Amino acid sequence: MSLKVFRVLIFLILLVSSIKRGTCLNNGLALTPPMGWLSWQRYRCNVDCTTYPDECISEKLYRKMGELMVSEGYHAKGYQYIIIDDCWLAKERDKDGKMQADPDRFPNGIKSLADFLHKKGLKLGIYGNYGTETCAGYPGMMGHVQQDAKSFSEWEVDYVKIDGCNSDPACMDRGYTEFGRYLNYSGRPIVYSCSWPAYQEEEGIAPNYTAIMNTCNLWRNYQDVQDSFQSVKSIIKYYGEQQDIYAKFAGPGHWNDPDMLVIGNFGLSLEQSKLQMAMWAILAAPLMMSVDLGNVKKEFKEILQNEAIIAVNQDPLGIQGRRIYKSCQPAFLPSIEAGFLWNQLSANGIMRCQGTENTVEVWAKPIAPVDGNYYSYALAFVSFRTDGVPYAFSATLEDLGLYSPKGYIIQDLYEPNDIGFPVVGVETAINIKVNPTGVVFLRAKLQNAKCSKKNPKSEHPKNQTSTGNQTTVHKFQFSPDIFV
Ligand SMILES: *[C@@H]1O[C@H](CO)[C@@H](O)[C@H](O)[C@H]1NC(C)=O
Ligand SMILES: *[C@@H]1O[C@H](CO)[C@@H](O)[C@H](O)[C@H]1NC(C)=O
Ligand SMILES: *[C@@H]1O[C@H](CO)[C@@H](O)[C@H](O)[C@H]1NC(C)=O
Ligand SMILES: *[C@@H]1O[C@H](CO)[C@@H](O)[C@H](O)[C@H]1NC(C)=O
């Protein structure tokens, strides 16, 4: 049998078996959102190791971050992938067309780095680009997909992030799928992170999320995060606006990826850092730090290592949370009057909102434990207001779509010692204050829930209006002292 015929045959067999197999990529990986560290946001494409020996993209940097991930306690909290981004490659492939790491900056090669990290109990991720060149101008994978999948597997890489610069987004359905097949043929379980939908959305092509979910463990939907609150806010807004389109595609083994955590760097305040961490937990987002792990101030490290919040992110049900409420702020009204207007508008449903900037929002993520028809929930009360006062907010659990007659145990995940509401019935008002550009992050855990449900997802809770639709929450009680 010629090689060509053989390949066609394999392809047909795969096609048939994939049709039989059903919908999701089935490599057994990323059953909860992957957690780790990724170099791009903090270290970019710094290749000048003479001037910046500690910050340039080099094996030294990744070894050091691997050591710090363990010694600074991140690994113990669940972070495990150390991921190389763009600019690690030599400018040319070798004489056989094989990609190679820059020999000056990676003198021992990628396999040796993988070995080093594996000995520490960590995993190695690496960057490739489905295009003629990477975004920074290094060799792309176009024309080499099979060879490159083989190289990644030979080097014992555990995770690949495949970017999409310098290629036609219309051809990505084919290209990313093809590379995924070769990854699978390699026999090594490798997490597959795709930038495919982000490039298509940018071009105005509606991504085929069914195909993406069949192919990738995670995928970027939107722009790169930058080290600023404006950037983090625009990402959160985007995921809120688009949630009906793709929140449903998230689940164990396949995740929407809003990009890295920028916590601990220069651009986010403490409140804003808490907000990003809470929201990435709500969104069931991959938790990829991008910061100098040796220089994270204590209070920021506490955010990154908050076990209760990581547990929300890593919840085994793997349901992406949704925005269930967004306030309205018509631009022409001063804020106080606007506040009273929100009150009236909320009675008519939130679709009347005109302003979308300085909103107050509520986000909810169904989590375990589950009890019969009821989920537990993580609830994020988020304020994008910048006018300098904490925003008072009052709602009953019932208002938020939580109906278990046995009530819930409420915990503030940023104030674990503050047991404000140990057990709350669904009609009790919860009064909180959210700081400007901040968050209050609560967990509402079901009372007396059995934690040992083997497969809670199969018992789909029926009476949970807030999982589906932000228009279903309609009766918030705003307290009279709405502005303090
Ligand atoms: C390849 O795909 C098959 C079918 O989905 C799956 O059972 C297997 O675990 C995959 N192997 C790897 C290494 O990803
Ligand atoms: C999307 O992808 C799925 C799975 O690959 C395929 O069955 C379906 O036809 C595609 N939809 C469109 C609109 O191309
Ligand atoms: C859900 O539960 C609430 C409170 O018990 C009840 O008022 C409502 O009718 C229920 N909705 C559905 C769809 O069963
Ligand atoms: C949300 O509710 C609106 C109004 O009832 C409805 O048109 C829309 O289809 C719903 N979306 C989902 C995802 O249920």
Kindly list the averaged pLDDT for each block of 10 residues, start to end, along the chain of length 484.
45 41 79 98 98 98 98 98 98 98 98 98 98 97 97 98 97 97 98 98 96 97 97 96 92 98 98 98 98 98 98 97 74 39 41 55 93 92 83 83 90 81 81 91 81 39 37 35 29
| Residue nearest (by alpha carbon) to ligand 4 atom 4 | 471
> Residue 340: its pLDDT value, please?
41
Q: Which helix (H) or strand (E) segment is 288 a member of? A: strand 287-289
SS3 state of residue 299? helix
| Residue nearest (by alpha carbon) to ligand 3 atom 5 | 403
Domain final residue, candidates 320, 343, 375: 320
Name the token pair of 115.
């070995």
> Residue 343: its pLDDT value, please?
43
- Residues 101 and 174 placed together within one structural domain of the fold: yes
d(CA 119, CA 365): 36
- Residues 300 and 427 placed together within one structural domain of the fold: no
d(CA 345, CA 235): 25
> Residue 477: its pLDDT value, please?
35
- Residues 308 and 183 placed together within one structural domain of the fold: yes
Cα of 187 from ligand 1 centre, angstroms: 8
Sign of CA dihedral 251, 252, 256, 257: positive
- Residues 314 and 364 placed together within one structural domain of the fold: no
> Residue 424: its pLDDT value, please?
83
- Kindly state if the Cβ of 214 falls inside 6 Å of ligand 2: yes
Determine contact, residues 12/22, Cβ cutoff 8 Å.
no
Closest to 102 (Cα-Cα) out of 69, 127, 124: 127
- Residues 95 and 201 placed together within one structural domain of the fold: yes
Determine contact, residues 468/418, Cβ cutoff 8 Å.
no
Q: What is the torsion angle, in degrees rounded to the nearest 10, for the CA atoms of residue 218, residue 197, residue 281 and residue 239?
A: -170
Write down the residue that tokens 């019969």 correspond to: 372
Cα of 27 from ligand 1 centre, angstroms: 5
d(CA 259, CA 242): 16
Determine contact, residues 261/290, Cβ cutoff 8 Å.
yes
Q: Does residue 143 sit within a domain?
A: yes
Mutate which of 471, 472, 473, 474 for ligand 4? The one with the most ligand atoms within 8 Å of its CB, which is: 471
Q: What share of the chain is helix, strand, coil (3-state, %, to 5)?
A: 35, 20, 45
Q: Which residues of 144-182 are buried (b: 16+ CB within 10 A; e: fewer)?
A: bbbebbbbbbebbbbbbbbbbbebebeebbebbbbbbbb
Q: Which atom of ligand 1 is nearest to the CA of 186?
A: 13
Q: Does residue 23 sit within a domain?
A: no
What's the CATH number where 142 sits?
A: 3.20.20.70
- Residues 216 and 120 placed together within one structural domain of the fold: yes
Full domain range(s) for residue 377 = 323-329+357-446
Q: Does residue 25 sit within a domain?
A: no
Q: Does residue 268 sit within a domain?
A: yes
Q: Which atom of ligand 1 is nearest to the CA of 187?
A: 13
Cα of 3 from ligand 1 centre, angstroms: 22
- Residues 300 and 364 placed together within one structural domain of the fold: no
- Residues 293 and 363 placed together within one structural domain of the fold: no
Q: Does residue 413 sit within a domain?
A: yes
Number of domains in the chain: 2
d(CA 123, CA 72): 17
> Residue 419: its pLDDT value, please?
60
Q: Which atom of ligand 1 is nearest to the CA of 17?
A: 4
> Residue 357: its pLDDT value, please?
63
Q: Does residue 349 sit within a domain?
A: no
Q: Which atom of ligand 4 is nearest to the CA of 244?
A: 13
Q: Does residue 431 sit within a domain?
A: yes
Closest to 64 (Cα-Cα) out of 116, 21, 136: 116
What's the CATH number where 374 sits?
A: 2.60.40.1180
Enzyme catalytic residues: 163, 224
- Residues 259 and 390 placed together within one structural domain of the fold: no
Q: What is the torsion angle, in degrees rounded to the nearest 10, for the CA atoms of residue 38, residue 41, residue 47 and residue 52?
A: -100
- Residues 135 and 282 placed together within one structural domain of the fold: yes
- Residues 246 and 385 placed together within one structural domain of the fold: no
- Kindly state if the Cβ of 215 falls inside 6 Å of ligand 2: no
> Residue 3: its pLDDT value, please?
44
- Residues 280 and 376 placed together within one structural domain of the fold: no
- Kindly state if the Cβ of 217 falls inside 6 Å of ligand 1: no
DSSP classification of residue 428? S
Query: How many CA atoms lie within 13 Å of 78's alpha carbon, on the beta-carbon side?
Result: 20
- Calculate helix-pair angle for 172-186, 145-154, nearest 10 degrees: 40
Domain final residue, candidates 272, 302, 320: 320
pTM of the model: 0.84
Q: Does residue 279 sit within a domain?
A: yes
Domain final residue, candidates 270, 300, 320: 320
